[in-house]
């Protein structure tokens, strides 16, 4: 379920309790500084404090950051750089599957950079 943590003027905050209670995976856009409140709402709705969470900031940019935690750990996080999205649910529990893909991507970037440097060096002679 895609939700926003922001609200329009005069409107209350999004109540995630209903969505959490039905067991939906939650994708909360722009949770900016509301991690403790979101954790409290999720636990009040019956989600386990051990429910996996993933925060992705600057998605698909070079400065992308991913932080894995659980609902209990949300309140302890330092504020990630915006824009960010918070994913709550079992889908956020597998960093060991994502890390090899990130490492492969980084390796490919390094190889490309080395090839570019070698081409530039070879072209200077």
Structure confidence at residue 97 (pLDDT): 58
Integer Cα distance of 57 and 82 in angstroms? 6
Strand order in the sheet with 84-88: 2-4, 26-29, 84-88, 52-57, 65-70
Integer Cα distance of 3 and 13 in angstroms? 11
List the chain domain ranges.
2-93, 94-125
Query: What is the DSSP-derived secondary structure letter of residue 81?
Result: P
**Please, is 28 exposed, middle or buried when counting C-beta atoms within 10 Å of its C-beta (0-12, 13-18, 19+)?**
buried
Coil/strand/helix, residue 88: strand
pTM above 0.75, yes or no: no
Q: Which CATH architecture has domain 2-93?
A: 2-Layer Sandwich (3.30)
Integer Cα distance of 119 and 83 in angstroms? 37
In a structure prediction context, what are the per-residue pLDDT tens digits for the chain, which is 125 residues long?
Answer: 545 555 555 665 566 777 777 777 888 888 877 889 889 888 988 899 999 999 999 888 888 888 889 999 998 887 777 888 999 988 888 666 555 555 666 667 777 777 777 777 765 54
23: left (phi over 0), alpha (psi -120 to 50) or beta: left
């Amino acid at each position: 379920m895609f939700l926003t943590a922001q609200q329009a003027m005069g409107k209350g905050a999004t109540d995630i309790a209903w969505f959490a209670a039905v067991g939906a995976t939650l994708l909360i856009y722009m949770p900016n500084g509301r991690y403790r409140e979101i954790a409290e709402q999720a636990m009040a709705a019956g989600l386990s404090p051990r429910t996996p969470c993933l925060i992705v900031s600057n998605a698909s940019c070079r400065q992308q950051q991913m932080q894995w935690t659980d609902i209990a750990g949300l309140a302890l996080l330092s504020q990630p750089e915006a824009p960010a999205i918070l994913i709550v649910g079992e889908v956020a529990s597998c960093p060991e599957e994502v890390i090899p893909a990130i490492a492969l991507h980084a390796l490919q970037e390094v190889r490309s950079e080395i090839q570019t440097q070698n081409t530039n060096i070879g072209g200077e002679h």
